[in-house]
Structure 1
């Protein structure tokens, strides 16, 4: 039967797919299912039948138009070219930066904060490129845009934006191919920044801590803060070695005052962190629990309901104590004091550091937790000794 409008209208939709072959053009057919009638071409190429879908039958896509497309497709197949691969390449070539970003975020297992950060950075700093095909972004454009963002927003945002862009291009290199199976993106254009040394120098990485001789002055000013939550938060960071966000987002549901342990369910390394509590930490938590009205141990007025970095209080402590510090320095201070009195594998466990191939670390994971609690208590005692502090003070403090 020749595939004409009259003949096609007579064909009913079928529960099972059926093929109706054109009698004039070998390989040209109409594939009918329960939902639509689809024009297609089939031809054996290299011992394998290759199907090429042309389009659905409609007033706009007539049998005459489909026949013209079928002739072209059959000619391409005869030459050894696969129209399907060409379509795939054309589609891949047109994929935009935004589409790659969405695909990347869907494919990767990232923390929610990281996902939001990537989305914000790309949509804000690279908003002019969102609807552009990724393959159209050149090395020169990368270098120019990086410079523009640096001048307008600063060196750190510029570097961060293009590190994300570099990751998106790397992902696209693996995901999108041309008709020959080669990467559609041969060279990551962000490499230009390394080749011409255009990355901004942010400065050496901070590696500071509070020195033992400065600890009493720092401690005195922290304990003098009138805001009890901020005071306890800073003290808690020093005595646990937790990261600032881990402590800030700590919920009462993750604190067990009976067994004297707390749990960080989703830390930076994605391995749940179980930490024993020393006497001083227990005193702080038991006091706070008595008047707790929030889900969080350290509540705040921010959107999340937990404390955010108390910049004014930090400035006050810095000014009055003469000690320059950042919140993460408290974690480093904990580590430096701890490594003087506990084995390195114990410290790794207390700070939830990955053990890698460290055999002694892996062995330690299976030992009695009592030893871990004793180590935590010893570290707290040493910090309090250096700070000239007493445990009893924690239980009796009143909020200001």
Structure 2
């Protein structure tokens, strides 16, 4: 037994390692002690002052000392350590550096589940997106989570995608798009010891190259003008909180999540202004309140017991509209989903010939590469007119305001 020499040369006295011998070795008072095996060159046991005993291979390779930890005793037996050491010595004989090979194996051992966790922790994603990624991974790729990334091949992706399409083409597309994003991240994040990516190409790319993606048409459903009166009247027969939520979404075009996340701090009743701070576009969205909406929110404010606008009498933000929606559909014979209300708002606004830039501002849509739009600053106050136009149209259609003839809507994609 001896301490490690600074030169890396093993001491001349060696021992035939056995379980009994290793169990009998007392830890040093300080530092580390090394016991070398007489059977396999370079195999040794490191004993620390804390009593930890680890098998190592310690050899010189191309003029430099190489140390590779094999495992801990007694979890790893002496014979297992000898087999692992012989394997590494064989690699060295073939010109391979054991440390480099170990790092390569570790990189290639990264699983899909580990990569998804890294992707979600590093990327700045909205909580709803994080939840959706995990949901789709569990839906379509639950049995792939323990697979090594390097084991995911193009043919596997293609077969799984086709199988998922039999259940739901839309969900299959979402699942594979998330997988593509995760694997693109892996190509940049994980690399072999020589710096090359562990994935030379993204296997999901085959779906694009073979044009295998299924076309999924966007929903185009909305509430038509002649359906609005019955639908509006049916709101009187459901939970008033749910009814006000439906009315607000219809008259503002907000997304469901944006409306649900509204707090009273976001509502300026004196200035007649509503502000959504956490939007899909990652930019605040301010809308003027019409008289109707302001009155509705003032009444709702008097009943409020929590910070959120749409919280029930116990302070819980509402989430389940299923029964109220079913009741409205049964009474009015109008089938709808909550996002249909946003589509209805957009279609009404477009049919009223509201200017395109104002319409984009109402919906908080990006103007993309439109250079002209970059020079146009639309103040929130300038949206009061367009907001009032949409509200007037709806109120006239449902009979709550005197009206001329309600013109048919020119349907526009949301």
TM-score range for the pair, normalised by the shorter chain length: 0.7 to 0.9
In the alignment, the residues of structure 2 paired with residue 160 and residue 314 of structure 1 have an alpha-carbon distance, to the nearest angstrom, of 31
Q: What secondary structure is seen at the aligned counterpart in 2 of 1:269?
A: coil
Relative to structure 1, the CA distance from residue 386 to residue 265 in structure 2 (aligned partners, 3 Å threshold; closer, same or farther) is closer
- Matches of residues 291-302 of structure 1 in structure 2 within 5 Å? 291-293=303-305, 295-299=307-311
Pairwise CA distance, 1:134: 2.6
Name 1:220's counterpart in structure 2.
229
1:264 maps to 2:276: yes
In the alignment, the residues of structure 2 paired with residue 337 and residue 50 of structure 1 have an alpha-carbon distance, to the nearest angstrom, of 77
Q: Check the 8 A contact 1:44/1:50 in 2, yes or no.
A: yes
Pairwise CA distance, 1:352: 3.3
1:82 maps to 2:97: yes
Pairwise CA distance, 1:298: 3.1
Name 2:295's counterpart in structure 1.
283
Q: What secondary structure is seen at the aligned counterpart in 1 of 2:215?
A: coil
Pairwise CA distance, 1:314: 6.1
- Matches of residues 305-384 of structure 1 in structure 2 within 5 Å? 305-306=318-319, 308=321, 311-312=325-326, 315=329, 319=333, 326-333=340-347, 336=350, 340-341=353-354, 344=357, 348-354=360-366, 371-373=379-381, 375-384=382-391
Name 1:199's counterpart in structure 2.
213
Per-residue deviation, residues 299-318 of structure 1 (Å, max 9, x unmatched): 479x9534536543664697
In the alignment, the residues of structure 1 paired with residue 27 and residue 35 of structure 2 have an alpha-carbon distance, to the nearest angstrom, of 12
Q: 1:181 aligns with which of 153, 178, 195?
A: 195
In the alignment, the residues of structure 1 paired with residue 311 and residue 242 of structure 2 have an alpha-carbon distance, to the nearest angstrom, of 10
Instruction: Between 348-357 and 283-292, report the one with greater CA deviation.
Output: 348-357
Q: What secondary structure is seen at the aligned counterpart in 2 of 1:98?
A: helix
Per-residue deviation, residues 336-393 of structure 1 (Å, max 9, x unmatched): 368x45682x65554434467778767777x9xxx523x2321232123433549xx6
Relative to structure 1, the CA distance from residue 379 to residue 134 in structure 2 (aligned partners, 3 Å threshold; closer, same or farther) is same
Name 2:25's counterpart in structure 1.
9
Q: Check the 8 A contact 1:209/1:332 in 2, yes or no.
A: no
Instruction: Between 291-300 and 19-28, report the one with greater CA deviation.
Output: 19-28
**Number of aligned residues:** 375
Relative to structure 1, the CA distance from residue 89 to residue 56 in structure 2 (aligned partners, 3 Å threshold; closer, same or farther) is closer
Q: Check the 8 A contact 1:252/1:296 in 2, yes or no.
A: yes
Q: Check the 8 A contact 1:241/1:335 in 2, yes or no.
A: no
Relative to structure 1, the CA distance from residue 121 to residue 284 in structure 2 (aligned partners, 3 Å threshold; closer, same or farther) is same
Gaps of 5+ in 1: 395-400
Q: What secondary structure is seen at the aligned counterpart in 2 of 1:267?
A: coil
- Matches of residues 62-211 of structure 1 in structure 2 within 5 Å? 81-151=96-166, 153-202=167-216, 204-206=217-219
In the alignment, the residues of structure 1 paired with residue 395 and residue 285 of structure 2 have an alpha-carbon distance, to the nearest angstrom, of 29
Per-residue deviation, residues 254-285 of structure 1 (Å, max 9, x unmatched): 33434433332322123343444332221110
Relative to structure 1, the CA distance from residue 312 to residue 279 in structure 2 (aligned partners, 3 Å threshold; closer, same or farther) is same
Per-residue deviation, residues 223-269 of structure 1 (Å, max 9, x unmatched): 31213334432331233231122113323343343443333232212
In the alignment, the residues of structure 2 paired with residue 267 and residue 3 of structure 1 have an alpha-carbon distance, to the nearest angstrom, of 69
Q: What secondary structure is seen at the aligned counterpart in 2 of 1:186?
A: coil
Per-residue deviation, residues 37-75 of structure 1 (Å, max 9, x unmatched): 554637575x8x565332466346588986886687577
Give the TM-score, by structure 2 length: 0.71
Name 1:246's counterpart in structure 2.
258
Q: Check the 8 A contact 1:97/1:131 in 2, yes or no.
A: yes
Q: Check the 8 A contact 2:158/2:207 in 1, yes or no.
A: yes
Name 1:41's counterpart in structure 2.
58
Per-residue deviation, residues 169-195 of structure 1 (Å, max 9, x unmatched): 222222333343322222322222223
Q: What secondary structure is seen at the aligned counterpart in 2 of 1:121?
A: helix
Pairwise CA distance, 1:164: 1.9
Give the TM-score, by structure 1 length: 0.73
In the alignment, the residues of structure 2 paired with residue 23 and residue 148 of structure 1 have an alpha-carbon distance, to the nearest angstrom, of 54
* RMSD of aligned residue pairs (Cα, Å): 4.4
Pairwise CA distance, 1:96: 2.6
Q: 2:73 aligns with which of 27, 49, 58?
A: 58
